[in-house]
Amino acid sequence: MFLALKEMRYSKLRYSLIIGIMFLIAYVVFMLSGLATGLAWEFKQAIVDWDAETIILSEDANKTFAASQLKKEDLQRVDASQKASIGLYSAGITGTGEQVNVSVFGTEQEAFILPKTTEGRMFKEKDEVIISQNLADKGYKIGDSVKIGKSEEKVKVVGIFPKTYYTVTPVVYTSLETWTALKYEGQPFASEEEQPMNIIVTKDKDVQLDNQSGTKLDKMTTEAFIESIPGYSAQNLTLNAMIYFLFVIVAAIVGIFMYVMTLQKTAIFGVMKAQGIGNGFIANSIIGQAFIVGICGVVLAFVAAYATSFVLPEAMPFSIEWSQWLAYSGILLVVAVFGGLFSIRTVSKVDPISAIGG
């Protein structure tokens, strides 16, 4: 390590350039990681907030929330200690604030999935809704009468709950009766048992389904349900692939830099070997330099990315997952050192006599 530090002090500009490149790549990795986590969270946060174990939907829905079509009577065909029916309606909301796309969830008043309100109260009567804080930030407030979707019927905002998202849109909760009126524009149904919904969620892992009659039911874990959200897996795969490709770039850049530096110092290595200094000592020096380059670049990028998170616009989905950032830091260090290993073979093949011109 002594030789590595001494040489780096002597060639400050060269090593500053490679540390700068390492910093930029690591910075992009952390920023992409934050964006990937933020986007993923805005797709699934409402589902995570339900704290449910199992999701039941119609078998022909191909594991898709909106495509599942159930009836209220299907709730009795699910054997679970805690269960709640949910209807989904994606539409625009119009009122005192700016027009915003929202995800409207209809459910029972006492459903376990409902969030606790931070302002106002829970909906109790028809045409009452509660909204997420991120929708309130758009200009909506308690007491507002708003229109949702194509329905001409206005609903009243009676409560606000903490910020949450579903498929990158703010969330609205209301009763199944109000949800039905909004989505089906007051269309009558033969009976209350015929009222539509999309899925049933439960807190039980082992759920028994009665498929003797009616719509065939299917069940899946919450994790699998989240993975089936349209666009969720593709988005994560794309951003993660970019991050993994950057790891390869780090190994290549550090490897090429160290290899070129090694070729330039062939004569010096020859003199060192002639003086009895072994390959192991020289190899440790090269690996030490790669490690120092990696640690400096990663630490600077870590701090810079964290500082950047405070100045990003609120509309940009960005979330820091510390365990992931620490894991990526470790991987960046490993690939930097791995890049330095390419030069060791060159050092071992240096002939002292040829190197010094003998």
Mean pLDDT by 10 residues, the chain (358 residues): 58 80 93 93 94 92 91 88 92 86 93 94 93 93 92 91 94 93 74 83 89 87 92 90 91 81 67 64 76 91 95 88 94 86 67 56
Q: Using CA atoms, how far apart are residues 46 and 41, in angstroms rounded to an integer?
A: 9
pLDDT the model gives residue 47: 95
Half-sphere exposure of 298 (CA within 13 A, CB side): 21
Instruction: Say which residue the tokens 């890049």 belong to.
Output: 339
3-state secondary structure of 19: helix
Please enumerate, as own/partner, the contacts of 115-121 that have beta carbons within 8 Å and a separation of 24 or more.
115/49, 115/161, 115/162, 115/164, 115/173, 116/161, 117/159, 117/160, 117/161, 118/160, 118/161, 118/162, 119/159, 119/160, 120/157, 120/158, 120/159, 120/160, 121/158, 121/159
pLDDT the model gives residue 256: 83
Q: Which runs of E-coded beta strand occur in the chain? A: 54-58, 70-71, 78-79, 83-94, 100-107, 119-120, 128-132, 145-148, 154-161, 165-166, 169-175, 196-197, 199-202, 208-209, 217-221
Q: Using CA atoms, how far apart are residues 347 and 284, in angstroms rounded to an integer?
A: 11
Q: Using CA atoms, how far apart are residues 85 and 56, in angstroms rounded to an integer?
A: 9
pLDDT the model gives residue 314: 81
Q: Using CA atoms, how far apart are residues 130 and 315, in angstroms rounded to an integer?
A: 22
Give the tokens for residue 153.
């019927």
pLDDT the model gives residue 251: 86
By the 8 A CB rule, do 317 and 134 touch? no
pLDDT the model gives residue 218: 92
pLDDT the model gives residue 348: 63
By the 8 A CB rule, do 132 and 138 touch? no
Q: List the chain domain ranges.
A: 2-43+232-355, 70-214
pLDDT the model gives residue 171: 96
